[in-house]
Amino acid sequence: MPPRVRVDTARTPVVRATLDSPATRNRLDDELLAELTDALERAERADGASVFVLDATGDTFCSGIALGDIDRADWQPRLVAVHDLLRRLADSPLVTVAVVDGAATGGGVGLAAACDHVIAGPRASLRMTEVLLGLVPAVILPVVAERVGRHRAYSLALGAQELTAGEAATLGLADRHTDDCPHELRLLLRRLRAADPGALRALKRYRRELYPSDEGHADRSVRVVAERLGDERVRDRLHTFHRQGLIP
């Protein structure tokens, strides 16, 4: 099977990871999660690397956590893996940049929100869809709240509101919206190259000290989702949506 994530380490100080599974809408299944985590670890080990860019092929940036194959034997490790990846992106010594030029739903919104900088292109849309499925966005809500504030994040989740690139930028879920993602990315990378690499790493360390992550959140996330997945009606709903191709 070809890799789900293509990694380019030839352009230091930038390492680029591209989600490349358009057939699955770049869903966060076990394989993609493992490859993306490995890509970030490779970037952190790469000599001279200071920036990690995450983008995607196809019309979907990321369709969120794979739900169609979830059963009681494997969904808990997957949720923990998503939580850990989001924290790794937020706390990485590298500057993490998400280029979103397609649909981001559910966990895909969290994947972008966990990054230090989000560029939203003309095809971008962002939507926390969990309540439509009978679930709670327990894993991603904290990283979204860090960007837009607690009540705003709760409101977006409550109404499953779909945001355009411009709306996401207005709320702070994206840092820039543009009709030309490559150009906007080049401008950002130029600004980052002008900065002292040691200062960038120190700034990220200081941010972690100011806003430490809640180590107990992973356990709470699993518990909250467990309560929902324990409901037979919710599981039937998920299976129906999966058969209809509405969820990954």
**Per-residue pLDDT reduced to its tens digit, 214-226:** 666 777 877 787 7
Write down the pLDDT at residue 29. 92
Strand partners, 60: 103
pLDDT at position 74, please? 63
Query: Residue 66: what pLDDT?
Result: 86
Q: How confident is the model at residue 2 (pLDDT cuts 50, 70, 90)?
A: confident
Mean pLDDT of the chain, nearest integer = 91
What is the distance of C-alpha 84 from the center of its chain? 11
Spatial distance between the Cα atoms of 85 and 122, rounded to a whole number of angstroms: 26
The distance of Cα 156 from the centroid of its chain, to the nearest Å, equals: 16
The predicted model gives 49-64 an average pLDDT of: 96
Position 72 pLDDT exceeds 60: no
**Alpha-carbon span 150 to 60, nearest angstrom:** 26
Instruction: Report the percentage of the chain scoring pLDDT > 70.
Output: 96
Q: 118-122, 205-209, 239-243: which has the highest mean pLDDT?
A: 118-122
